């Protein structure tokens, strides 16, 4: 099994090509141009937020709250990604890590300004949540470059889907446009990491498969340090913004099974063969759980309509 330093060096030319592709495709945009400033007004002394100020589905409000606080934890995500495969200031890995951080920073700026101007969430609860989340600094920690690349490939796509689905459930056109813009960035981040993992598979298929298995079975969206995260996550799942069905159909199926072709890979070590079997069995279980929950949700919707 190659060392992390060996993998980093071997993948360097691919990373260079993918960074150049990203820079060619990334669109420059400015948060201040998306925010409806004309809706804003000063917060008086003693102001107390009222949910009636911004009527919306409470699951969408939960998603906006969680999505923003996740973006706010950016310093810690930078730390763990730079620690895993960042590095020298003048190499491609360090260049990418800093560029990724700069782009992600825009997301927290535009979402926070939008939520503050529209009063879509309680600003006091939001700021207290930010202080708690960032002070805790809870982030995934990776034991290897392979593990880190596989995680962020899945996580960036999950984030894109969460932002996109949140936006589609919003009734405010401005909010919809903001979430679509953020989701577009996240998709470019995802394809960068997805294609790096594809290169890792070609370089060392067994190392890649073991890392894929570890991440698929242990995957969790970032945000565990957010106050009330479990309740927010349940609301988000119940609304279909992000649940087992979404995770299986829009992440595991298109990425792990189709893009990375996990069932078709050959030349695996015995350990990697076992990892693949575990991973495929887990994906099947997630698919069954997703279908079951979707059927229950559809049934509730039919009963409510009738």
Tens digit of each residue's pLDDT (9 = 90 or more) over 49-98: 999 999 999 999 999 999 999 888 888 888 888 888 876 667 899 899 99
User: Mean pLDDT across the chain, nearest whole number?
Assistant: 91
Domain spans of the chain?
4-34+54-243
pLDDT band at residue 219, thresholds of 50, 70 and 90? confident
Superfamily per CATH, domain 4-34+54-243? Ribonucleotide Reductase, subunit A (1.10.620.20)
Both tokens assigned to 55: 């009527």
Report yes or no on whether pTM surpasses 0.85: yes
């Amino acid at each position: 099994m190659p060392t992390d330093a060996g993998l980093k060096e071997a993948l360097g030319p691919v990373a260079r090509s993918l960074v150049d592709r990203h820079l060619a495709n990334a669109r420059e945009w400015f948060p201040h141009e998306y925010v409806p400033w004309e809706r804003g007004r000063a917060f008086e002394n003693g102001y107390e937020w009222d949910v009636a100020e911004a009527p919306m589905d409470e699951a969408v409000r939960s998603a906006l709250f969680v999505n923003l606080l996740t973006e706010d934890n950016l310093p810690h995500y930078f730390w763990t990604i730079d620690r895993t495969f960042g590095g020298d200031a003048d190499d491609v890995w360090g260049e990418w890590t800093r560029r990724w951080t700069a782009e992600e920073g825009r997301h927290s700026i535009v979402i926070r300004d939008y939520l503050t101007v529209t009063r879509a969430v309680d600003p006091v609860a939001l700021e207290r949540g930010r202080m708690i989340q960032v002070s805790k600094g809870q982030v995934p920690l990776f034991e290897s470059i392979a593990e880190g690349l596989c995680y962020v490939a899945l996580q960036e796509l999950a984030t894109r889907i969460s932002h996109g689905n949140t936006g589609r459930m919003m009734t405010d056109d401005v909010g919809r446009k903001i979430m679509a813009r953020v989701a577009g960035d996240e998709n470019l981040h995802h394809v960068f990491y997805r294609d790096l993992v594809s290169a890792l598979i070609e370089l060392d298929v067994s190392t890649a498969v073991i890392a894929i298995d570890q991440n698929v079975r242990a995957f969790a969206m970032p945000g565990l340090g957010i106050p009330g995260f479990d309740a927010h996550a349940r609301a988000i799942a119940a609304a279909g913004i992000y649940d087992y069905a979404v995770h299986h159909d829009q992440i595991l199926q298109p990425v792990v099974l189709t893009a990375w072709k996990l069932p078709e890979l050959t030349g695996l070590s015995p350990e990697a063969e076992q990892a693949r079997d575990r991973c495929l069995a887990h994906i099947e279980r997630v698919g069954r759980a997703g279908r079951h929950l979707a059927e229950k949700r559809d049934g509730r919707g039919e009963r409510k309509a009738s």
